[in-house]
Amino acid sequence: MIEKYRHPFWIVGGGGMRNNRKKARHEFSRGEKSGLYKAILKRRDVRGQFEPHPIPDSILARILNAAHHAGSVGFMQPWNFILIKDEQVKRQVKAVFEKANTTAAQVYEEPLRSKYLSMKLEGVLEAPLNICVTCDPTRGGPHVLGRHTIPQTDIYSTCCAIQNLWLAARVEGLGVGWVSILSRERLKEILRLPPHVSPVAYLCIGYPERFEPMPELEKVGWLKRLPLGEIVLSETWDEKDEA
Amino acid sequence: MIEKYRHPFWIVGGGGMRNNRKKARHEFSRGEKSGLYKAILKRRDVRGQFEPHPIPDSILARILNAAHHAGSVGFMQPWNFILIKDEQVKRQVKAVFEKANTTAAQVYEEPLRSKYLSMKLEGVLEAPLNICVTCDPTRGGPHVLGRHTIPQTDIYSTCCAIQNLWLAARVEGLGVGWVSILSRERLKEILRLPPHVSPVAYLCIGYPERFEPMPELEKVGWLKRLPLGEIVLSETWDEKDEA
């Protein structure tokens, strides 16, 4: 653990942000930087409070384009974005969630189980748009550059695209909720995915009434945010080489 | 395929960005938005051209904090960041890369092999800082909320954190290169990771002389960027329900 990261001297936008340092050559302006940091800090997993009105096509295209500009191993761009607005498709997905959620609740003892069941964990029907982000491991041919030793990098790239989408949605005032309480096999059937294509994320998107000031699980005391200093290590896991 | 996404009418910052639309309630200002989109579009995988001077601690803390504010399944925050500056550790990692890269080159026939070997694919020694981002699947206890049906969501969360780090680095003028041509097992040994902890990304970070205007693999013609319209689908993979 690196002690100095315990202290939030680096608070974004704080007086010490520039210090006496010369601006680095390719550094963004202060305003541009704050746009990025604000998006990162104010992004939330939005599960409820979706307003019903649809997302304009031009805005949807912008956030999809943002996702598509993530880096990918060997430039393979393994992602697809399935836009789901149809009520029947959504209802099928919602049923898959309900089943998985009932099973998931059983692993908790009371009073945790009641707390779990009291939380709204998805907005499949309320969100005007759902997006399934998939990963096609065959994209880019059999010898994707850089994927020889770690084939899972196709999935990693897809997740980077999802984070871009999430941040772009936030600056547009759109909330995104990632529904992970789903059977992947059932989802593949409903969305008629080819056997080799993985559904990586099922996202619910729309304009929310509000963004919470902190993650819901932090707010309700489910888990605490870890201090940054506890998760930053020096040189090796056991830090034997720490200078 | 959705035909309308073929046309880049949504170009960021273009005249049509606002149209006649009322600003959405939680939408960022135009300047803040452009900071985020610019970071997404100008982020590159930087493998060379690293200048040797170090990254100030306050800036490093900001980009680590950005990574740490990614969403994670059940708020488990499964990531650690191992900061590697020690020349000896770097040299061991570089040797692991060299071995994996020699093997990887063998899968290509000429003239592709020569093209492959002519590209600089990592900056382990040149970058003043390397960061290994790991994922601890035991973080947050045995029953992480939302991870019951898709246990891989711990890795997905870690990749979202990596994308945050990559974007934050970009606005600070820092280049990041993700080295995927490595044996994970050897990397675990060098960094003394516990058996259950996965190294997800090995990143090289520093101030680069320049950021390329487009991804290197696109520039050298290794692969083309896919048109957005080809990867956006409606309702299902086969689009039988398309309205």
- What does DSSP assign to residue A15? G
Check whether residue B6 and residue B91 sit in a common domain: no
For residue B159, give the nearest of A160, A210, A232 by CB distance. Answer: A160
Query: Whole domain around residue A2: which residue ranges?
Result: 1-20+225-243
Residues of chain A neighbouring B197 (CB-CB closer than 8 A):
237
Task: Write down the pLDDT at residue A135.
Answer: 98
Tokens 């984070």, located at residue:
A163
Does residue A137 fall inside a structural domain? yes
Does residue A28 fall inside a structural domain? no
Q: Which residues pair with B208 in a beta bridge?
A: B50
Q: Do A32 and B12 touch (CB under 8 A)?
A: no
pLDDT (tens, 9 = 90+) of chain B, 243 residues, equals 565 555 443 444 333 444 556 788 999 999 999 999 999 999 999 998 999 999 999 999 999 999 999 999 999 999 999 999 999 999 999 999 999 999 999 999 999 999 999 999 999 999 999 999 999 999 999 899 999 899 999 999 999 999 999 999 999 999 999 999 999 999 999 999 999 999 999 999 999 999 999 999 999 889 999 999 999 999 999 986 444
Does residue A34 fall inside a structural domain? no
Q: Do A164 and B222 touch (CB under 8 A)?
A: no
Q: Do A149 and B231 touch (CB under 8 A)?
A: no
**Minimal CA separation from A48 to chain B, in Å:** 15
Q: Which of A129, A140, A141, A108 has its CA nearest to residue A177?
A: A129
Distances (CA, A) of A200 to A82, A147, A158, B20: 12, 18, 8, 35
Check whether residue A114 and residue A147 sit in a common domain: yes
State how many domains chain A has: 2
Check whether residue B147 and residue B180 sit in a common domain: yes
Does residue A32 fall inside a structural domain? no
* Inter-residue contact B8 to B232 (CB < 8 Å): no
Could you report the per-residue pLDDT of B96-148, keeping only the tens digit for each? 999 999 999 999 999 999 999 999 999 999 999 999 999 999 999 989 999 98
Residues of chain A neighbouring B23 (CB-CB closer than 8 A):
173
**Minimal CA separation from A205 to chain B, in Å:** 14
**Minimal CA separation from A169 to chain B, in Å:** 9
Does residue A27 fall inside a structural domain? no
Check whether residue B237 and residue B175 sit in a common domain: no
Check whether residue B54 and residue B120 sit in a common domain: yes
Check whether residue B119 and residue B147 sit in a common domain: yes
Check whether residue B194 and residue B152 sit in a common domain: yes
**Minimal CA separation from A87 to chain B, in Å:** 10
Does residue B149 fall inside a structural domain? yes
Q: Do B167 and A167 touch (CB under 8 A)?
A: yes
Q: Cα A71 vs. chain centroid, distance in angstroms?
A: 16
Q: Which of B39, B72, B42 has its CA nearest to residue B157?
A: B72
For residue B182, give the nearest of A24, A149, A217 by CB distance. Answer: A149
Check whether residue A200 and residue A237 sit in a common domain: no
Contacts of A12 (CB under 8 A, 6+ apart): A34, A37, A38, A41, B62, B65
pLDDT (tens, 9 = 90+) of chain A, 243 residues, equals 565 555 443 444 333 444 556 788 999 999 999 999 999 999 999 998 999 999 999 999 999 999 999 999 999 999 999 999 999 999 999 999 999 999 999 999 999 999 999 999 999 999 999 999 999 999 998 899 999 899 999 999 999 999 999 999 999 999 999 999 999 999 999 999 999 999 999 999 999 999 999 999 999 889 999 999 999 999 999 986 444
For residue A86, give the nearest of B57, B235, B238 by CB distance. Answer: B235
Q: Do B40 and A168 touch (CB under 8 A)?
A: yes
CATH number at residue A79: 3.40.109.10
- For residues B169 and B176, give the distance between their C-alpha atoms in angstroms, rounded to a whole number: 7
Q: Do B28 and A156 touch (CB under 8 A)?
A: no
ipTM: 0.93
Does residue A220 fall inside a structural domain? no
Check whether residue B123 and residue B190 sit in a common domain: yes
Q: Do B75 and A153 touch (CB under 8 A)?
A: no
Check whether residue A7 and residue A117 sit in a common domain: no
Does residue A93 fall inside a structural domain? yes
pTM beyond 0.95 = no
For residue B57, give the nearest of A4, A153, A237 by CB distance. Answer: A4
Check whether residue A140 and residue A238 sit in a common domain: no
Check whether residue B14 and residue B124 sit in a common domain: no
Q: Do B41 and A69 touch (CB under 8 A)?
A: yes
Which tokens hold the place of B168? 């934050």
**Minimal CA separation from A126 to chain B, in Å:** 16
Q: Do B146 and A121 touch (CB under 8 A)?
A: yes
